Every structure is written in C-alpha cells, then in structure tokens.
Amino acid sequence: MNTSERLTGLVQVYTGDGKGKTTAALGLALRAAGHGMRTYVGQFLKGRDYGELESVQHLAPLITIEQYGLNDWVHVDNVTPEQRQAAQAGLAKGRQALLGGEYDIVVLDEANVALYFGVLTEAEVLALIDEKPSHVELILTGRRAPQSIIERADLVTEMREVQHPYRRGVPARRGIEF
C-alpha cells in the first residue's frame, strides 16, 4: 500500500468464549491481502499444525504467520520456562513486525490467553500498544482479554458461545477448528 493511501491504524480485540477469534483475524488478513496490504500473524501458545499455516503460503508475501509456542498444551498452573521463553521471543518478533515498517496489520493471535497464563504481562502488551505506529492496525485475539487491554482498544468484539458441537462429543475437526 503506498504512503498516501495509508489508513489510521486502530487496535482491535477479538475475545470471548465462542469460536471464531482467530478465524476473524485471518479473515481480516485475507481481505487486506485483496487490497495489497501486508499482514503479520504471530501465534502465541501454538506450535502445532493448523490449516492456516499451509494456506497462507499461497498468499505470501502478503500474509506471514509465525508460531511462538511449543508442540504441547500450556496449563495455567504449570507453565514451563520454555513456554515463557517462547512467548517472550514471540513478543520480540511481534514488536519487530509492528515497528519494522513492512506490515500494515499485525495480529497477535492468542495474546490474551498468553496474558491469562502469565507468559506475557499486561505491562508488556500495553507498552506494545503504546509503541504502535499510527498507520498499523493491531489485532489481539484470545479468550479472557483483561480490562486494561479492552479499555485501550478501539474495537472489541466478544465471541459468545451459544452452542458448540464439542459439547455433544464432536472433536475438533481438521480444516474447521484447526
């Protein structure tokens, strides 16, 4: 996108217990790619094979995804030093993407959950929001967004679960939930 067309970048938060937070952020990236905009997606706490990792290869260099997690589950009461280290490395990469001038949109996927689990701090994420260049859109996804992040955001969408097949014993499905 050329400099004269740059938008005012806002801070968006997609949170709540319903499905669709990451999907909404990826949908925004897909839409932006159609306008020649570049999006960086950093996924906290994720180190497994998700369908978006394969599909965005077809949209490179307009969409870039990196994962900042290990190939295991993070448990709030038992966070490992390696999981903290991966999140901190991810925060540094996210900051670089935000400030580097290469991207129009930066998505920090599951950043709110990383805050809840304590692998990131509110102070770190609030500082990142404060550093955001005025033309870059910043999106934070994940359940349990803290009030401090919600108050700093320009747009907050809460996904609310009304009904989910998981409750009927249907496991997560490749291509739909991951």
pLDDT beyond 60 at 4: no
Domain that holds residue 113: 3-168
Whether 71 is covered by a domain: the verdict is yes
Residue of higher predicted confidence among 99 and 76: 99
Number of domains forming the structure of the chain? 1
Q: Terminal CA-to-CA distance of the chain, rounded, Å?
A: 30
pLDDT tier at 49, thresholds 50, 70, 90: confident
Whether residue 113 lies inside any domain: the answer is yes
d(CA 62, CA 57): 9
Pairing state between β 137-141 and 105-109: parallel
User: Would the pLDDT of 74 be above 70?
Assistant: yes
Task: State the angle between helix axes of 81-99 and 122-131 in degrees (0 to 180), rounded to the nearest 10.
Answer: 10
Residue 122 reports pLDDT greater than 90: yes
